[in-house]
Amino acid sequence: MSDASTAMNQAMTAAQEKKGTRKVAPQARKAAAARQRTQALSAPTLADILRLVPSDDQMTKIVAAFGVESGDVDELTGAGSNLIRDQYALLSPVLVSTIRGEANYQGLKLHLDRVVDGLIRSAYGAANFYENRRMIAKDAADSWANQHRDEDRMGVDGGENRVAGLRRIAAENGAKAYALAALAAGACAAYAELMGAEWKPYQRDDGRTLDQKVAAAQAEALGF
């Protein structure tokens, strides 16, 4: 297994474990999830993606149950890694400046930051869409279960019923999100190795004063 694939698996495991580390009240959990989504929409990270996409075990089950194509993780992470490595090698002579006898990598870093950011945003968009489709399918299944108790039977025309169709849509989008997450993970791993630091999304200053930030933190701590 490649280093990029290993890095993705480790990050995904950490994200999955983090889900169940502490029991919280439903209202607090919803509020925390809302804050997390708001932050992720403006500056998504690989961790935000891995919290939403299927885990390796889930993806294996989805492939077996629905027959969807999820891609080869090693190939996808390798492609993401090579994308960054190739541009690093190709553009270093152009974007790396020499200032007072020392190499300045800021120009190259900014470019690679944007490349990784694009992959992260693409994967996060797919992951978020998958989570929405998954919840729609779950809600529909719960509704049918309460009303009819036979939601899994075939329709009168012999085709899949509505709930089964929604499940398949969720499964197909889960595979897409999983593949794009692997690509983004490979890019992040290569970036960290080449630049000597983990990739981080660019976040603008929210413009609030220190007192305003303290007040906001205090209000959040008190739950209002």
Reply yes or no on whether the pLDDT at 158 is more than 50: no
Per-residue pLDDT tens digits for 21-79? 445 566 666 666 666 666 666 799 999 999 999 999 999 999 999 999 999 999 999 99
On the question of pLDDT at 132 being above 50, the answer is yes
What is the spatial distance between Cα 216 and Cα 196, in angstroms, rounded to a whole number?
34
Q: What are φ and ψ of residue 102, in 5° steps?
A: -120, 145
Mean pLDDT taken over the chain: 83
The DSSP element (H or E) to which 57 belongs, if any, is helix 56-66
Which secondary structure element, helix H or strand E, spans residue 99, and what is its range? strand 97-99
- For the cut 80, the answer to whether the pLDDT of residue 106 exceeds it is yes
What pLDDT band is residue 157 in, cutting at 50, 70 and 90?
very low
* Predicted local distance difference test score (pLDDT) of residue 193: 98
Nearest 5°: CA angle at 76, between 21 and 1?
Answer: 70
- Packed helices 162-195 and 56-66: angle between N→C axes, nearest 10 degrees: 140
Per the CB < 8 A criterion, the answer to whether 12 and 56 are in contact is yes
Enumerate the domain spans of the chain: 3-9+28-222
pTM (two decimals): 0.72
Q: Which residue has the higher pLDDT, 53 or 147?
A: 53
Tokens of 22: 């502490």
